[in-house]
Structure 1
Amino acid sequence: MQLTILGCYAATPRTITNPTAQLLEINNRMFLIDCGEGTQVQLRKNKIKFSKINQVFISHLHGDHFFGLIGLISTFSLLGRTTDLHVYGPKGIKEIILLQLKLSNSWTNYGLFFHELDSEESVTIFEDEKVLVTTIPLQHRVYTNGFLFQEKAGTRKLNMDAVLNYEIESCYYQKIKNGKDITLEDGRIIPNSELTFDPIPPKSYAFCSDTVYHEPVIPIIENVDVLYHESTFLESEESLAQKTLHSTAKEAARIALKANVKQLILGHYSTRYESITLFKEEAETIFPEVLLAEDGISFEF
C-alpha cells in the first residue's frame, strides 16, 4: 500500500504548499482522494500516470478539496482518454461539473459517471474483487465524508514442499488455496493448515478530511493500519477549531488512540504556523506513531 500526498494544506494554495489531494495505491488499484486546485500539476511532478486513475473520491464541496477536478477532467479529454471515470462525492458535484462542461462546450470523449452521496450513515460506495470502499460520515460546515479503503483477504499461499510430499495433483491447487482440506486416494484427510501458509494480511487506510472532533468515526475506523486525520490547528487555537468545525493535532491523536489504529498521519495544516513539526510534537503527547503529511511525500506500508 502506497500513499502519495499531492497536497495537504488548508484553504488557499501557495507557491510552496498545495490544498488537499492524495493518491492511494492499494492492491494494484489507484484511487485519487480529493482534488484541490493544482492537483494535476502535482500528479505530473510526482510522475503519476493519469490513465491509471479511474475513481475519484471527493470528501466535500469546499473549494480546497475539489476545485482541481474540472481541470483534471478536461485534461483527461485532451489526452485522448477513453476509459470511464467514476466520481464519488456529495450531492451537487454532478451539477457543478456538468455546468462547467456545458457552458464551455467541453464534453468528455470518455464515460464520466457521478455517484452522489447523501447518507448520514456509513455505506459501501465501491467494491470489486480486491478492494472495498466505505464512507466515514464526518461533521463539518457542509455535508462531508471521509473514506475507508480495505483490501479483501487474499487466497492462502501453497506450501509447495508439503503439496509435493503428498503428491497432490496440480488440479487441486486452487481448491487448496481457497482453504479446503484434501482427501488422498488412501482416505487420509490432509488439513489445509498443513498445505498452505496464511495470506499476507490485508491493508486498510482511513481518510478523515475536514471535521470537528467526532467520536462516531471510531467504530468505523477501528484497528485500521493507517489513519489520515485532519489537524488544521494546534491546541492553542482549539476555540477556533470548534468555531470552524476543524480538529487540532491532539484531537486527531485522541481519535487514533481510541480507534486503536497502527499509524496516524496528520495533515490539512493551517498556514498560520511556521513549522509543521509542532503538530507532530503535540500529537505524540497522546499517540506515539505519528507521521506528517508533506506535499510530494510518499509513504509505503
Structure 2
Amino acid sequence: MADKKDIDEVTGTDTTGHEWDGIKELNNPLPRWWLWTFYGTVVWGLAYTIAYPAWPLINSATQGVLGYSTRAEVAERIAEVDARNAEVSERLAAADLSTLAPDDPAHRFGVAGGASVFLANCSQCHGQGAAGVQAAGYPNLLDDAWLWGGTLEDIEYTVRHGIRNDTDPDARWSEMPVFGDILSDEEIAQTVEYVLAMSGQEHDAAMAEQGMVWFEEQCTACHGENGEGIRELGAPTLNDAIWLYGGDRETLTETITYSRFGVMPAWGPRLDEHEIKAVTLYLHQLGGGE
C-alpha cells in the first residue's frame, strides 16, 4: 500500500490523489484544535435540539425537554404589560371621548396606544404619518377635509364600522354612479372642465359653461350646488384643491367615467374597545380632528 502513495516531491507529503490543472492536494491532517471545536459544535447542536424546540413536524415542532418557547415568553410579557395597564384600559374603554380631558391619564394612554394601533393596522393604507396615498384613494388624515366628519364621534364610528364593506351592516355607505353609462364622452369632458373651473384650475370656459348643465343635472344631489360636498353621503368637496384621487383633467375624466368605490374594513370585530377609542384619540389630535 505504501508503494501506491503519491508523494509530493517538493514537500515530501503524500497527496489525496486529486489533481486540478497540475495542482495536487496535499493530505495534511486538520489541526487538533479545529477538530475538537467541530466535535464540540456537533455535541452542542444535538443537545440544543433535545433541550429546545427544534425539529419541524406537520402541525408544530418538537417542544424540547425544557419546554421553552420564545412565543410563550413574548405572550407572557405582553400579558404582564396588559395587567399593569388594565385599570386605565378599562377607563378608556368606558369613557365618553367627547368629555375626556386631555390631561386625563386615560386620554394620554389612549393617544400613546393609538399610535401603536395605527401603525399596526392603518398605516399600510394611510401611510406611516397618516398623510394618505392619493393615487390609491387613501385619504389624508392630517387636514380638515373629512369625507364623513372629523369629530371624535365621527372618527370612532368610521373606525368601528368602516366604509362600503360587506361585513358590517352599519358601515358608512355611498356609491358614485358610473357616468360613462349615462353621459357621452363629450358631456363628460364638459363636466370635467366645469369641475376644473369650480376648483380654480385652468379650464376651457366654453366647455365649462355647458358642463355646468350636466353637473347641475347629475352631480349636485351629492356634491351640492357649488361643489361643497355633503358629509352625510360621503361626497367630497369639489371646489377646493384637496383631492382624494387627484384633480387633474385626466384623473377627473377617469373618475367621472368609471366612478370610484373605496372600501375600508370594519375594525370593530378586530380591535378591543379601548384600542378603537385609542386610535380615535390619536387620529383626532394629529391636527385634522374637528
After TM superposition, the score normalised by the length of structure 1 is 0.21
Choose 1 or 2 for highest CA Rg: 2
Normalised by the size of structure 2, how large is the TM-score? 0.22
**Whose helix fraction is larger, Structure 1's or Structure 2's?**
2
